[in-house]
Amino acid sequence: MSPQSLRLLVVSTAVGTLGSGRGGGVEITLTGLVAGLIARGHRLTVLAAEGSRLPPDCGRATLWTRPGLDQPSWQHQPRDGAVQMPPGSLLAALWECALRRQGDFDAILNLGYDWLPFWLTPHLPIPLFHLVSMGSVATVMDGVITAVSRWDGRRLAFHSAAQAADFELAGAARLVGNGFDLTGYRFRAHPDAEAPLGWAGRIAPEKGLEDAAAAAALLGRRLAVWGLCADPGYAAAVEASVPAGTIVWRGFLPTARLQAELGGCGALLNTPKWNEAFGNVVVEAMACGVPVVAYRRGGPAELVQPGVTGELVAPDDVAALATAVGPAEALDRSNCRQWVERHCSREAFAGRIEAWLLEGLSPAGPQTGPT
């Protein structure tokens, strides 16, 4: 229990409803954060797209929803693209509500990667915090994140050092990792007989599924793929690039079913083409005892301990990826679970988030006014 009980408004992503998978890793981050902070005695309200559902362990949170059209996700925009707002914007509806109700809260915590809430930060009477969910993907976003950092860097937190290093920050970055309800992931000491390799994530070019498929094909192994198909043309092209039967599409599954299937894999391949901010699926696989072979790039390179919980190989090197599978599968799977329990529990994550918010709410520190 925290010494101080906070009334917190958590504003979700303006891409997709909670439960749909369209918001990617932000959905599981939100769940861990909300359930973890409630368990520490805080009062949580979540503001999200109409149609959103909160899982049962967030049952003591209040859910407010607003209708509106999704934001185009920044990772699929040109780097020098302008900020866009569709007519009937969900983002505008969320922040109209947040601004109107701000007096009911001690702080607002934004989980969306959008220009508007970052820009609003110095102009609100209520403290507004941001857990940044992606690395650098757009110049205008880089600029507004730097501006918040210069105004009061305590308002920003990042998932990994590699992600934070993408941005020009006025001081040291606050790193909070991520947190999972590990009771929901069953440890499997052994993979299934004739275990496939696994891959999980949004099926979109920045996730590099083609490299995992090519490595599986080199090894003559099946690759089970879980995730939301964000780009059907891309999925078809990847399937056509490897022998028929290499990819086994498993669809987008809720966590309980995902972990049950994931746990049977010999190893998870994680092949991002971008500077992945964290890599939820890496932790989820390890929670089930599945070692991970990942590119030495972004968050996953901070999550995988080579020779202990998996292997790291040079980014974009498919042959090295394939070669590392055997050594990874030979590792003791209990190492994976133990590492995750030490670093990625929901309890530890909520403690890190609470410490960040309390420090940011304390009077000390720079408050130089908008620049």
Residues that bind ligand UDP (CB under 6 A): 21, 24-25, 28, 200-202, 226-227, 252-253, 255, 258, 278-281, 284
**Closer to ligand UDP by Cβ: residue 201 or 360:** 201
Query: Please, what is the minimum distance in Å from the beta carbon of residue 32 to ligand UDP?
Result: 10
Q: What CA–CA distance (Å, rounded) separates 207 from 211?
A: 9
Q: Which residues of 339-364 are buried (b: 16+ CB within 10 A; e: fewer)?
A: bbeebbbbebbbbbbbebbeebeeee
Beta bridge partners of 317: none
61 in Cβ contact with 33 (< 8 Å): no
The partner residues of 200 in beta bridges, in order of sequence, read 226
Q: Which of 161, 105, 147 is nearest to 128 (CA)?
A: 105
| C-beta of residue 136 within 8 angstroms of C-beta of residue 37 | no
- CB closer to ligand UDP, 315 vs 360: 315
Q: Which is nearer to ligand UDP, 200 or 350 (CB)?
A: 200
Give min distance, CB of 95 to ligand UDP, in A.
Answer: 22
Cβ at position 198, least distance to ligand UDP in Å = 10
The distance of closest approach from Cβ of residue 119 to ligand UDP in the complex, given in angstroms and rounded to an integer, is: 23
Return the number of the residue (25 or 208) whose C-beta is nearest ligand UDP: 25
- Number of neighbours of residue 244 by Cβ within 10 angstroms: 7
Residue nearest to ligand UDP (CB): 24
Q: Quickly tell me which residue has 């609100």 as its tokens.
A: 124
For ligand UDP, give the closer residue by CB, 25 or 360: 25
Q: How far is the CB of 337 from ligand UDP (least distance, A)?
A: 17
**Contacts with 287 (C-beta within 8 Å, 6 or more apart), sequence order:** 180, 182, 185, 187, 259, 336, 337, 340, 344
**CB of 252: closest distance to ligand UDP in angstroms?**
4
Our CB check for ligand UDP shows the closer of 24 and 310 to be 24
Residue with smaller CB distance to ligand UDP, 90 or 281: 281
Q: Which of 7, 138, 168 is nearest to 75 (CA)?
A: 138
Smallest separation (angstroms) from ligand UDP to the CB of 182: 13
Type of residue found at 114: D
CA 193, CA 181: separation in Å to the nearest integer? Answer: 27
